[in-house]
Structure 1
């Protein structure tokens, strides 16, 4: 049997050349044009609009929660006042009956 040392090295080198030949040639980098800058700006602006929309929705949610809480507070204030008045009236009646 023949040795495979040199032959395997040749096979490896030819395989590498064939692989290189099959790959598409890479194009050189081109300088940025005005349109490239316009597209970058469009990407940035779309992300900015998205983040601002999310921020505005979060702020609207906070305002709505505070407003609803404020309305509940006003309703409970009225109820508390009525309860306090009833308690005062009940205390006055107790004092009146105790003095009798």
Structure 2
């Protein structure tokens, strides 16, 4: 979740702003393809979108670790819950890095 505290709200707004920018980039790529633009130019834009979406994912992952994971580890006395949140984090990171 991206709305745990005031700083996180700013992060949420920044993520939404980035996603809107990415949406505009994707629409631009669609126009380029539709207009028959040079393939290399399209591929450069695709790489830019991929990089931007990876950045958004990194921001969300960082927020998750600093809030949800941290809270569970600090506040829970249940070892199974701590193990579960760490396993979930590892699974998510492996999926994210693919």
**TM (normalized to structure 2)?**
0.39
Higher relative contact order (CA 8 A, sep 6+): 2
Larger Rg: 1
**TM (normalized to structure 1)?**
0.38
